[in-house]
Structure 1
């Protein structure tokens, strides 16, 4: 899984206006449960544990959603959980409804979250490398790609940095993972 970050000191690229687009936090448990195909209890638990649900609209039509974690993050498919330090947040579980894809909604939703989460200084988000559309949307929103998980035999063993920047090094701290060099990665794969 590839990770990108945006820090408060970074600039946000200008995106062309998308008339009638808006995004907001929602606490409507039934609406979120219906949209995400999770039970109301899952939504209640997420909201009670420092997660916020954002919904995106075109006019009055709900077109996308995503989550912001502020206390603990996880990547359940890899059994990876991590505590989130103050002023950091983890963005996860985004979806643009199929009939609204290809219109630039995802990067606008990400930027709306950044603008509304004023107390947060660092934003982290991941995507699967084969999800090209997600990667493009994340970069278009202004995020900088910095690292990748090292996974062997279904277990996360560390993180590989794409560069030596402060943001890349901070990704290892954020996810509480050791940095694995390409040489170490090759040795562990053999």
Structure 2
């Protein structure tokens, strides 16, 4: 899994206008369950763990969702759980509904979340290397790709750093993994 980050002092690139796109926090468990196919119990557990759910809308139609972890991040498939340092958050579980893909919604959605979360200075997000659409949307939103998970079997065991920047080195502190390879 490739990781990217955006820091509060970074500029947000100007995106092509999408005037009818908006994003809002939601606590509407019924709507969230309908969109995500998660049980009400799973949604409640996530909220209790300090996670927030954002919904993106085109006009009044929900078209995408994504979670913001504020205390702890988790990548279940790789048995990785990590406590988030103060003023850091982890964006995960994003999905644009199939009929709305290819319109540039994702980049607008990410920038909207950044603007609505002033208490965080560093935003982290991951994506699978073969998910080029996600990687493209994350980069267009202004995130910098900095590291990649090293996986052995079904466990994350380290990080490959793509650069020797402050951001890449900070990914070690966020994900609590050793550097396996660096530039």
**In which range does the TM-score fall when normalised by the shorter chain?**
over 0.9
Aligned to 1:180, the other structure's residue is in SS state strand
Residue of structure 2 equivalent to 1:148: 148
**1:31 maps to 2:31:** yes
Superimposed CA distance per residue, residues 2-28 of structure 1 (whole angstroms, 9 cap, x where no aligned partner): 000000010000012102111000000
- Which runs of no fewer than 5 residues in structure 2 stay unpaired? none
Q: TM-score, normalised by structure 2?
A: 0.98
Which structure 1 segments of 5+ residues have no match? Answer: 184-190
Change (3 A) 1:179 1:63: same
| Matching residue of 1:112 | 112
| Cα separation, 2, equivalents of 1:126 and 1:114 | 16
Cα deviations across residues 37-83 of structure 1 (Å, max 9, x unaligned)? 10001001111111000000000111000000001110011010001
Residue 6 of structure 2 aligns with which residue?
Answer: 6
Shift of 1:85: 1.4
Q: Are positions 1:89 and 2:89 aligned together?
A: yes
Contact persistence 2:73–2:81 (CA under 8 A): yes
In terms of Rg, which structure is larger? 1
CA RMSD of aligned residues (A): 1.0
Alignment length (residue pairs): 183
In 1, distance between residues paired with 2:58 and 2:44? Answer: 26
In 2, Cα distance between equivalents of 1:23 and 1:98: 18
